[in-house]
Chains A and B, each alone.
Chain A
Amino acid sequence: MKKSVFLGALTVAGLAAGAAAAGTLDDVKARGKLNCGVTTGLVGFAAPDANGNWEGFDVGVCRAVAAAVLGDPQAVEFVPTTGKTRFTALASGEVDMLARNTTWTFSRDVDLKFDFVGVNYYDGQGFMVPKALGVSSAKELDGATVCIQTGTTTELNLADFFRKNNISYEPVPIETNAEGQQQYLAGACDTYTTDASGLAATRASFENPSDHVVLPEIISKEPLGPLVRHGDNEWGDVVRWTLNALIAAEELGITSANIAELSEGTNNPEVNRILGTEGNLGEMLGVSADWAKNAIMAGGNYGELFEKTIGENTSIGLARGLNAQWTDGGLLYSPPFR
């Protein structure tokens, strides 16, 4: 890990001339593989299964982009990054995109020179405590020891939250989710804080998930989304519209089950445009005409991907909530494909 920070810094520093320049789309096509930065392991979002295949919600986004660009959802090289190394890895060109539950903030977008292409999960920061602690609200955590992943927005939200409520805490900085889990379960910290989705995923992997509760307070807005380097708009467009295609597909009722049938032509022009049987959206984007079809076939539309990886029927058990389509009272809203 240390090495990758340093190598990343060095690469930024000098040797990767042109890595940051425009042309990621051509680079990916030439390489035949998409380098996608993911977490070091968060069940449901990105974690290798027993056979070493990466799977999860964020992984699904990577595979969709690979399918859109290269036509092959398996042509992805997953690069595990920690909260600390992710930005250096992206800025240096080590990865082409990050799909790593990363919060879209002003300074990351503007000052750190990245482009967030959209939001694939609307989240907020929460706290998990053992039931035995007898705490029912985050405001009762005065003096508590809090495990926190270092280099994240949660670290800053935490400081703000305790300052605002005028209570004290002792931060225990940790590097990865696995370390946080170990310290939390051993009682080296009273509470573990991260995005509520991450807490649910972590809790699901415990031996006795019911011994732990996630407190009701959500102390921040955490719009999580994929991001690319600033300044390469063609590549940014590819990732942005791949994500939009997944969201629009759910809205328009395109699923992995009926996509073959729909791509023979329908009487809904927008579906036709998305699936490439009408218009030339793929050509405008610089990819093949059936890009969106490939992306949707990679893991299903947004809703299917959600249900398969983190939905209510999985061990993570997250409800759609804010992440429902706008037609269902959620925040997901894809701009039109026209």
Chain B
Amino acid sequence: MTIVTDPPKASFRVSQLIYDTRYRSITFQIAALIGFLILIGWLISNTAQNLADLGKEPSFGFLAEPAGYDINQRLVDYDNQNSHLRAAFVGLLNTLLVAVMGCAAATVLGVTIGVLRLSKNWLISRIMTVYVEMFRNVPVLLWIVLIMAIIIETLPQPRDFRGADPQASMALFDSVAFTNRGFYIPEALFSRSLGDIHLFGASAMRFDVSLDLLALVAVLLAGLWASARIKRNADAVQEATGVRPTVWHFRLGVVFVPLLAVLVLLGFHLGYPALKGFNFQGGTHMRNSLIALWLALSLYTAAFISEIVRAGILAISKGQTEAAAALGLRPKRIMNLVILPQALRIIIPPLISQYLNLTKNSSLAIAVGYMDITGTLMGITMNQTGRELETVMLGMLIYLLISLSISLVMNWYNNRVKLVER
């Protein structure tokens, strides 16, 4: 016979919070949390107190005041009577522009270099090694400044293109001018333009999107979709009959014929740059600062990406290559069909950090006078309004949002690639 008795209910004593191992860790964590919160609270109140002593209560009202300064590279309409917020938006778009251009170029360059570094050709692999070591071991700021200095000091100034016997001449059938103020390239013009859509009304975020561009993108996407359909049909026929029908001309046709038709309908033509007054007019002006920043950021980041790609490829066991070769695949197809798809899974996570790095490094733009968000909001606006705390915090918030968005997109892509694993 057993007597079941409840264990005596121990009454909780305060000393248990320290001496009882069940509670001790929680006690310590709560104490640490309180300490941490007090520290933060002290920082905030101290900041507020100091600012109040200076007579500078935090306020974001300055964002609505007229900026008063001009910005050279504007992706949206802006003049010096617009608000500081609008100037910050112009800067933000400039940041995004160089980040997107940089990430794209760095990826293409990095993957190419990473693959070439594994080449069996001794010369090529050594040259790539030199490239990687050179670029990743020198601070990116120096590359930015160096490229800018090279552009400014070696390329001709617009004045040299003038006269009966000019010292410099335009390249590519007089369509492109390389000057030390930047490159002037032909721009796309539409004589029967559809106009623009104006987004966000008259707010500081107002943004014009060209309908011509939208139409072209829509036609291109539709063409690609149709081309993919044709390929799927051909695949199905091949599965069923073993004979692959010739479809490449259809696939090219559905992409390019509608595109050309739309271009003709819209009256597409090129606007060429021409020397007028002090500068080239017409065409698109890629400023020296943009080129220096873009090139330096992409060359620098490409060195890191190439190492990531090389590591990813080397991580795939040699048995895979041998097995694929035994099936009769050629080296190029082994790389594209067997190695790279598996390597991508390893490559993408560290690649995300490189994209984030590139975007954040773009804040070095001020070294060459590129007007990004650091140059406008945290540069001129901060200086003209004296709102250090507000502008820096706003800038940090914006960089945080950009970085989180990049992470989000790349993680989504990473998950898609990961699913291929069986």
Chain A residues at the B interface, C-beta cutoff of 8 Å: 2, 5-6, 8-9, 12-17, 20-21, 83-84, 87-88, 91, 107-108, 111-113, 132-133, 141-145, 150-151, 155-156, 158-160, 162-163, 169-175, 182-183, 186-190, 229-231
| A159-B80, A174-B369 as given contacts; A8 in contact with B56, CB under 8 Å | no
Q: How far, in whole Å, are A88 and B157 apart by their CA atoms in the complex? A: 37
Number of A-B residue pairs with CB-CB distance less than 8 Å in the complex they form: 136
- Decide if A113 touches B55 in the complex (CB within 8 Å): yes
The 7 closest A-B pairs by CB, nearest first: A187-B157, A151-B383, A112-B386, A159-B80, A143-B277, A9-B388, A173-B369
- Decide if A9 touches B54 in the complex (CB within 8 Å): no
Among B67-75, B120-128, B255-263, B320-328, the one that faces the other chain is B67-75
Interface residues of B in 103-161 (CB under 8 A from A): 149, 152-153, 157-160
Known contacts A83-B383, A231-B53; 5 further A-B pairs (Cβ under 8 A): A14-B46, A20-B53, A107-B384, A143-B277, A151-B384
In the complex formed, the residue of B with least CB distance to A156 is B68
CB distance from B93 to the nearest CB of A (A): 17
CB distance from A82 to the nearest CB of B (A): 10
Q: Is chain B's binding surface mostly helix, strand, loop or mixed? A: helix
Cβ of B193 under 8 Å from chain A: no
- Decide if B159 touches A187 in the complex (CB within 8 Å): yes
- Decide if A143 touches B54 in the complex (CB within 8 Å): no
Chain B residues at the A interface, C-beta cutoff of 8 Å: 43, 46-47, 49-51, 53-56, 68-72, 79-81, 149, 152-153, 157-160, 180-181, 276-279, 281, 288, 364, 366-367, 369, 371, 375, 378-380, 382-386, 388-389, 392
10 A-B pairs with CB atoms under 8 Å apart are A9-B389, A20-B53, A111-B385, A133-B159, A145-B181, A150-B375, A174-B369, A186-B180, A188-B157, A229-B54
In the complex formed, the residue of A with least CB distance to B288 is A188
CB distance from A175 to the nearest CB of B (A): 7
In the complex formed, the residue of A with least CB distance to B383 is A151
Q: How far, in whole Å, are A144 and B70 apart by their CA atoms in the complex? A: 14
- Decide if B279 touches A143 in the complex (CB within 8 Å): yes
- Decide if A13 touches B389 in the complex (CB within 8 Å): yes
In the complex formed, the residue of A with least CB distance to B289 is A172
Question: A145 is contacted by which of B68, B79, B278 (Cβ under 8 Å)?
Answer: B278
Q: How far, in whole Å, are A158 and B371 apart by their CA atoms in the complex? A: 17
In the complex formed, the residue of B with least CB distance to A19 is B50
- Decide if A190 touches B69 in the complex (CB within 8 Å): no
Q: How far, in whole Å, are A182 and B150 apart by their CA atoms in the complex? A: 12
Question: B152 is contacted by which of A13, A91, A186 (Cβ under 8 Å)?
Answer: A186
- Measured between beta carbons, the chain B residues less than 8 angstroms from A142 are 277
| A8-B388, A91-B386 as given contacts; A187 in contact with B54, CB under 8 Å | no
Q: How far, in whole Å, are A12 and B379 apart by their CA atoms in the complex? A: 16
- Decide if A188 touches B366 in the complex (CB within 8 Å): no
In the complex formed, the residue of A with least CB distance to B392 is A9
Q: How far, in whole Å, are A215 and B279 apart by their CA atoms in the complex? A: 20
- Measured between beta carbons, the chain A residues less than 8 angstroms from B153 are 186
- Decide if B278 touches A144 in the complex (CB within 8 Å): yes
